[in-house]
Structure 1
Amino acid sequence: MMTAQSVHDPVEDLTLEECWELLELEEFGRLAYRLVDEVHIVPINYLVDNRSLLFRTASGNKLLAAALQSDVAFEIDWHDLEGAWSVVARGVLRRLEEDEQGRADDLAGRPWVSTPKYDVVELIPVAVTGKRFRLDLGDVTRP
């Protein structure tokens, strides 16, 4: 949706509600986290549940980041030739206890890779922000 402001300004802040609407529409994004002195970024399938993000994972770095309560960032985006948007959620991870894992039942059919993922991790956002961009690509064509 273009507003009067966006006709003149190619970059527009998304409202918090718009950010959550976009997060709820998507199911795939990128999670960035730090472990000791390395920054990792990985694709994940996710689900929005009560203004937090849930994803299943196997044992490994994401689970370790949750145990260490590492600061994380999660990003989704989209673009075409006329516009683009990006939403970023910043927060911390925590592994759900066994009695809470039912919150992720809707994730059962979502994984794109069929490796076993027995643990559920929650990203609890402390900030959710987004931007919409009006693109002016002219006669740019893609190879």
Structure 2
Amino acid sequence: MMFDHPDNNPVRKLTEDECWQLLERTQHGRLVGVVAGYPDIFPINIAADQRSIVFRTAPGTKLAEVAVNENVLIEADGILSDEAWSVVLRGTAALLQTSGEISEAERLDLQPWVPGPKEQFVRVTPTEVTGRHFAFGPYRDAELGEGSEGG
């Protein structure tokens, strides 16, 4: 999904709506949280649902610990041959507990990377969503303003 870049600036700040367009089309991200005072990061399968992110985990794992620590960050990105993007969602995580919440999450068809029981669903409700889109091109030296020659 290519975005226009005004003034040929290679980096473009995305609107929140554009961030959600990208999140709705991706299934993979990283969860960042703090466990016992130390930051940790986990690759996760995600699904965007009603302007929130849902993922699955197994009870008792470090991932579950991070998820119930409440304040988390999710990062998702995409890298193609001529463009890339990165979206960061800061928010609060909550374990889904009611049968209604769980059955709603099950319809998202989240598939874990590895087999095994991943019976718990976590929903991350955003407090902030930011993103950048990058248009690849030739390197431009800041002083010269054009492609750098020589070396």
Cross-structure match for 1:91: 91
**Where is the helix percentage greater, Structure 1 or Structure 2?**
1
Cross-structure match for 1:27: 27
Alpha-carbon offset, residue 80 of structure 1: 2.3
Q: Which runs of 5+ in 2 are unaligned?
A: 140-151
Q: Normalized against structure 1, the TM-score is what?
A: 0.86
Question: Which string of whole-angstrom CA distances, capped at 9 and with x for unpartnered residues, describes residues 44-80 of structure 1?
Answer: 11111111111110021222233332x2111111112
Does the C-alpha gap of structure 1 residues 4 and 92 become closer, same or farther in structure 2, counting only changes over 3 Å?
closer
Corresponding residue SS for 1:104: helix
Q: Which runs of 5+ in 1 are unaligned?
A: 139-143
Aligned residues: 136
> Partners of 1:67 and 1:2 in 2: how far apart?
36
Does the C-alpha gap of structure 1 residues 56 and 4 become closer, same or farther in structure 2, counting only changes over 3 Å?
closer
- Percentage identity across paired residues of the two chains: 38
The runs of at least 4 aligned residues of structure 1 exceeding 4 Å deviation read none
* AA of the residue aligned to 2:120: D
Alpha-carbon offset, residue 103 of structure 1: 1.8
> Partners of 1:66 and 1:84 in 2: how far apart?
28
Task: Map residues 57-76 of structure 1 onto 2, 5 A cutoff.
Answer: 57-59=57-59, 60-69=61-70, 71-76=71-76
Cross-structure match for 1:110: 111
Cross-structure match for 1:8: 8
> Partners of 2:96 and 2:50 in 1: how far apart?
14
Corresponding residue SS for 2:107: helix
Does the C-alpha gap of structure 1 residues 85 and 109 become closer, same or farther in structure 2, counting only changes over 3 Å?
closer
Cross-structure match for 2:145: none
Aligned Cα RMSD in Å? 1.8
> Partners of 1:134 and 1:109 in 2: how far apart?
30
Alpha-carbon offset, residue 137 of structure 1: 5.1
Whether the aligned pair in 2 keeps the contact of 1:47 and 1:104 (CA below 8 Å) is: no
Whether the aligned pair in 1 keeps the contact of 2:3 and 2:133 (CA below 8 Å) is: no
> Partners of 1:66 and 1:30 in 2: how far apart?
12
Alpha-carbon offset, residue 113 of structure 1: 1.2
Cross-structure match for 1:119: 120
